[in-house]
Amino acid sequence: MYRLLIYAAFVFSLAAVSFAQTGKDPVSTREMDRINWMEFRETVPSKIRTVLLPTGTLEPHGVINNGADNTAPTAMAKTIARRTNAMIAPTLPYGMTGSMEAYPGAFQITESAYRPFIKQILEGLAKNGFQNIIILNGHGGGQTAVLQSVAAEVAAEKKVRTLVINWWSFASDETKAVFGEDGGHAGLNETAFIQAIDPALVHPEKYKDEMATAYPAAGTWSAVPFPSSIGLYQKGQGYPKFDQKKADEYYKKVTDKVADLVIEIVKKWDAAGL
C-alpha cells in the first residue's frame, strides 16, 4: 500500500512539473462554482488533488469593507491556485464574529450552527475527490479553534489531509518586515492587504487614530462589544498607513509565503506516503 501511495505521488508530481514547465492549465477555470461537472470529473483527482477553501465573516474593519475577512482569503486563493495546482471552493462568508457582532452590517453564526456546517462542507470536498483540503481562514477568534478541530476530525474520518492557515498570524513576520511594526485587526497589515486587492474598498478620509484600541493583555479587561473596529496587537503599533506601494509589496510577500507553505506541506505529505 505504501509503495502504491509513493508511486501515485510520483506520477502526480510529474504531472505538476509538466504543468509548471508548459504553463498550460489542465482546467478551464480554477473556481468550483464556475466549472462544468464533466470537466471536473476529468480533472479531479487525476490532475488536481488540492482544494482551497476561503473562510471569513462579516464584521466591522475600521475604514475597509465589512467583508474584508472574505475579500482577503478569496483574493489569496485566486492568486495562488495555479501555483499550488488547486481548485478554489466557494468562499464561506458567514462566521463566528464574536465581540463585534453589534456593529452595523455584522453577522454572528453560533458555534452550534457553524461547526456541523463547516464539517459537511469539508466532507463534501473529500467526497468529490480532493485529498488535500486547505482552509484559507480570514477570521480569528473562536472560529480558528473550530476550524482546526473540525479539519482534524475530517482528516481522520475521511482519510484526507487538511491544513488551516490563518494568514495574518502566519505572515506576522512579513508585516514587521514591510512596515517595521506589528499590525492588528483592520490595522496597517489587513488594511494594506485589502488596499492591494481593491483600493476602492479603503476609505482613508474616514480614518482617525481614535478609531483604534490596543487589545488588552490576558486577564486585564474585556469588553463586549469591543469598543473599536480597529484592534491593535501592540499598543502604539499597527495604525493604518494607506501606502499603496507598501500595500502591493505586502500582498505579494504574504501570498508567496502562503503558497510556499501549501506546496511544502503537500510535498512532505506525499514524501511520507500519508
Mean pLDDT of 169-192: 98
pLDDT reading at 4 higher than 60? no
Q: Identify the three-state secondary structure at position 274.
A: coil
Whole-model pTM: value is 0.91
Greater model confidence, 86 or 1: 86
Q: Which domain holds residue 128?
A: 2-272
Please, which pLDDT band fits residue 22 given cuts at 50, 70 and 90? Answer: low
Mean pLDDT of 195-219: 97
Q: Identify the three-state secondary structure at position 233.
A: coil
**Number of domains forming the structure of the chain:** 1
Mean pLDDT of 149-175: 98
**Per-residue confidence (pLDDT) for residue 24, from 0 to 100:** 85
**Per-residue confidence (pLDDT) for residue 38, from 0 to 100:** 98
pLDDT tens by residue, 24-72: 899 999 999 999 999 999 999 999 999 999 999 999 999 999 999 999 9
* CATH number of the structural domain spanning residue 40: 3.40.50.10310
**Per-residue confidence (pLDDT) for residue 254, from 0 to 100:** 98
**Per-residue confidence (pLDDT) for residue 21, from 0 to 100:** 47
pLDDT reading at 97 higher than 70? yes
Mean pLDDT of 116-144: 97
**Per-residue confidence (pLDDT) for residue 6, from 0 to 100:** 46
Share of the chain above pLDDT 70, in %: 92
The residue count for the chain: 274
Mean pLDDT of 128-154: 97
pLDDT reading at 16 higher than 90? no
Q: For residues 11 and 24, give the distance between their C-alpha atoms in angstroms, rounded to a whole number.
A: 18
pLDDT reading at 219 higher than 50? yes
Q: Collect contacts of 76-82 with beta carbons under 8 A, ≥24 apart.
A: 76/136, 76/167, 76/254, 76/255, 76/258, 77/52, 77/136, 78/30, 78/31, 79/255, 79/259, 80/52, 80/255, 80/258, 80/259, 80/262, 81/30, 81/52, 82/25, 82/30
pLDDT reading at 13 higher than 60? no
How is residue 201 annotated by DSSP?
Answer: G
Please, which pLDDT band fits residue 19 given cuts at 50, 70 and 90? Answer: low
Greater model confidence, 107 or 8: 107
Please, which pLDDT band fits residue 5 given cuts at 50, 70 and 90? Answer: very low
Mean pLDDT of 131-155: 97
Residue with cell 458555534: 111
pLDDT reading at 173 higher than 70? yes
Q: Identify the three-state secondary structure at position 229.
A: coil
pLDDT reading at 11 higher than 50? no
**Per-residue confidence (pLDDT) for residue 3, from 0 to 100:** 47
User: Where is 222: in which H helix or E strand?
Assistant: none
How high does pLDDT run on average in the chain?
Answer: 93
DSSP annotation string for 95-131? ----TTTTSTT-----HHHHHHHHHHHHHHHHHTT-S
**Per-residue confidence (pLDDT) for residue 96, from 0 to 100:** 97
Tell me the pairing of strands 184-185 and 161-166. unpaired
Greater model confidence, 104 or 16: 104
